[in-house]
Amino acid sequence: MEVFSLGICCMAKKVQSAPFQAILAFAKEDFARLQLASEVQYELNVVVFPEDVVLNEPVQQWPLCDALIAFYSAGFPLRKAIQYYELRRPASLCDLYMQLALLDRNKTYEILEGAQVPLPRRIVVMRSHPDGHLPPEQENLNLHQQGDGQKNGDEQPPCIATSTLGKVFEQNGDWISFGEEKMCKPFVEKPVDAENHDVIVYYRGGGARLLFRKKKNQCSQLDPERVYVRTDTSYVYEPFLQGDGSMDVKVYGVLCVDTPGPYLYAEMRHSPTSHCEVHRLPNGREKRVETRLSVSERAFSIRLLEAFGQFVCGFDLLRCNNGSETYVIDVNGWSFVKDNDEYYRQCALSLAKRLEHEIACRVRSWGDHSTKPQCAP
Ligand SMILES: O=P(O)(O)O[C@H]1[C@@H](OP(=O)(O)O)[C@H](OP(=O)(O)O)[C@@H](OP(=O)(O)OP(=O)(O)O)[C@H](OP(=O)(O)O)[C@H]1OP(=O)(O)O
Ligand SMILES: Nc1ncnc2c1ncn2[C@@H]1O[C@H](COP(=O)(O)OP(=O)(O)OP(=O)(O)O)[C@@H](O)[C@H]1O
């Protein structure tokens, strides 16, 4: 029997997670079942790239595979994974170049705009080159606030002007402006670096709420003294949109090769902008309620999934004005629904069908030969 190998290249914590293990087990069963109906049968070999190999060995030493699931999470060497892909050219289920874009909120928003996905208005204040260094023309700029600008209420002059990349940034406590663009409070400040989850909501009249990655049961903290925005690095500013019921909608998409197209599952949770404590169930999981996407939400979600080209992709929506408007506010990349067997089943079946599809593409590309050419050493 022919062997088709699926490489899994990610941080160990992710592949060892309960959802991923469940999905892989179901996918193997589904693949074997689908193969029964095929003329030439393949056995699926899942090759998990050991984390120490991924982190420490050159890509020439990484395992070979026919299809690849590689995705970024904290600590993952994404550029190295791209080198591996360019060296071996397996069928890639998760576009690695798009994952680079997902590390930058502004690039992510530009891709969403290109896909005609509804977004909040934004002002993007870029302060440094992508490598984190100030460009030469900025070296002598008078950046009033260094660090994260905490407790800056009374210490700041009433109007702060800094110049960044040729445009002037100003703030007076009620508004910010950058070049010709102006935004009044309340607004949300997000680091352009998408891996930085220290988001701040600034309220009209002063005071702010600091949002961060859940720390045990805490997801945000009020800071009544904070008036001025941070000027230490690059930020995206968006008007604060009041989500219906103060809820976020978290969407989990899975690309599918057959009709009816991508599988989408969505659930609502209390927004961290509305409270400091995570609402949890007795089993410790965050309390969430499944929600149906509207026809238009489904349509732009499909465009989003196709634009980013990830087999699995999570993203966040805000529904406003009694559901009459919905905006995408964040794209998380690879993310699974947790504790949901129906989702695991759907995701596994989509994976098995995608692998069958990749085999068919390969076989077609070999012309009339039904056996696979030998891999280059
Ligand atoms: O997307 P994923 O599945 O990779 O998970 C994300 C994040 O999902 P998101 O991106 O949709 O927000 C998870 O939040 P949820 O979806 O569970 O609310 C979070 O879990 P968490 O904070 O422990 O949540 P609780 O279990 O405390 O409720 C998890 O943190 P870790 O696993 O602890 O590192 C994150 O991973 P990473 O980005 O690698 O740090
Ligand atoms: N424009 C906005 N108006 C109102 N609330 C917003 C807006 N943008 C984001 N939020 C709220 O802030 C939270 C964090 O924002 P966002 O998801 O962009 O940050 P993040 O750090 O990338 O979060 P995640 O942990 O999901 O990766 C959202 O869950 C949402 O509740």
What do you get for the CA distance between the two ends of the chain, in Å?
21
Q: Is 142 a residue whose pLDDT tops 70?
A: no
Co-location of 294 and 229 in the same domain: no
For range 27-53, the mean pLDDT: 95
Q: What one-letter code names the amino acid at 222?
A: L
Co-location of 189 and 217 in the same domain: yes
Please tell me the distance between residue 214's alpha carbon and the centre of ligand 1 in angstroms: 8
CATH number at residue 310: 3.30.470.20
Give the distance from CA 303 to its chain's centroid: 15
- Cβ(308)–Cβ(95) under 8 Å? yes
Q: Let me know if residue 372 belongs to a domain.
A: no
Please name the residue whose Cα sits nearest to atom 9 of ligand 2: 329
Co-location of 133 and 45 in the same domain: no
Which ligand 1 atom sits closest to the C-alpha of 11?
39
Q: What is the pLDDT of the chain when averaged over all its residues?
A: 90
Q: Token match 């705009």: residue?
A: 113
pLDDT tens-digit readout, 187-219: 999 999 999 999 999 999 999 999 999 999 999
Co-location of 190 and 211 in the same domain: yes
- Identify the pLDDT of residue 260: 84
Ligand nearest to the CA of 335: 1
For range 12-35, the mean pLDDT: 98
- Cβ(187)–Cβ(239) under 8 Å? yes
Q: Let me know if residue 90 belongs to a domain.
A: yes
**What length does the chain have?**
377
Please tell me the distance between residue 283's alpha carbon and the centre of ligand 1 in angstroms: 16
Distance of CA 237 to CAs 75, 132, 247, 271, 359, Å?
A: 27, 19, 20, 18, 45
Co-location of 17 and 34 in the same domain: yes
Please state, in angstroms and rounded to a whole number, the distance separating the CA atoms of residues 135 and 331: 28
Name the token pair of 147.
């660090």
Co-location of 70 and 108 in the same domain: no
Q: Is 134 a residue whose pLDDT tops 50?
A: no
Strand 208-215, strand 199-202: pairing: antiparallel
Co-location of 141 and 286 in the same domain: no
Please name the residue whose Cα sits nearest to atom 1 of ligand 1: 335
Co-location of 189 and 259 in the same domain: no
Task: Indicate the SS3 state at residue 131.
Answer: coil
Co-location of 109 and 258 in the same domain: yes
Q: Which of 183, 205, 239 corresponds to the end of one domain?
A: 239
pLDDT tens-digit readout, 179-190: 999 999 999 999
Which ligand 2 atom sits closest to the C-alpha of 327?
1
- Identify the pLDDT of residue 264: 98
Q: Give the E-state strand segments of 101-217 in sequence order.
A: 123-125, 160-164, 167-171, 175-178, 181-184, 187-191, 199-202, 208-215
Q: Let me know if residue 158 belongs to a domain.
A: yes
Which ligand 1 atom sits closest to the C-alpha of 213?
22
Q: What one-letter code names the amino acid at 156?
A: Q
Please name the residue whose Cα sits nearest to atom 6 of ligand 1: 335
Which ligand 2 atom sits closest to the C-alpha of 194?
22
Q: Let me know if residue 11 belongs to a domain.
A: yes
For range 150-173, the mean pLDDT: 66
Co-location of 46 and 190 in the same domain: no
Q: Give the E-state strand segments of 299-351 in sequence order.
A: 312-320, 325-333
- Identify the pLDDT of residue 370: 52
Q: What angle do CA 93, 22, 48 make, to 5 degrees?
A: 50
Q: Which of 239, 256, 286 corresponds to the end of one domain?
A: 239
Q: Let me know if residue 373 belongs to a domain.
A: no
Site to probe by mutation for ligand 2, drawn from 244, 273, 276, 317 as the one with most ligand atoms within 8 Å of Cβ, is: 273
Q: How many domains does the chain have?
A: 3
**Neighbour tally for 16: CB within 10 Å:** 12
Ligand nearest to the CA of 199: 2
Co-location of 158 and 55 in the same domain: no
Q: What angle do CA 41, 44, 49 make, to 5 degrees?
A: 155
Reported as half-sphere exposure (CB side, CA atoms, 13 A), residue 59 has a value of 15
**φ and ψ of 325, to 5 deg:** -135, 140
Please name the residue whose Cα sits nearest to atom 21 of ligand 2: 197
- Identify the pLDDT of residue 138: 38
Instruction: Give the residue numbers spanning the domain of 178.
Output: 123-239
Q: Which of 239, 263, 278 corresponds to the end of one domain?
A: 239
Dmax of the chain from CA atoms? 76
- Identify the pLDDT of residue 115: 98
Q: What angle do CA 289, 295, 299 make, to 5 degrees?
A: 105
ipTM: 0.95
Co-location of 112 and 217 in the same domain: no
Q: Let me know if residue 314 belongs to a domain.
A: yes
CATH number at residue 71: 3.40.50.11950
Q: Let me know if residue 377 belongs to a domain.
A: no
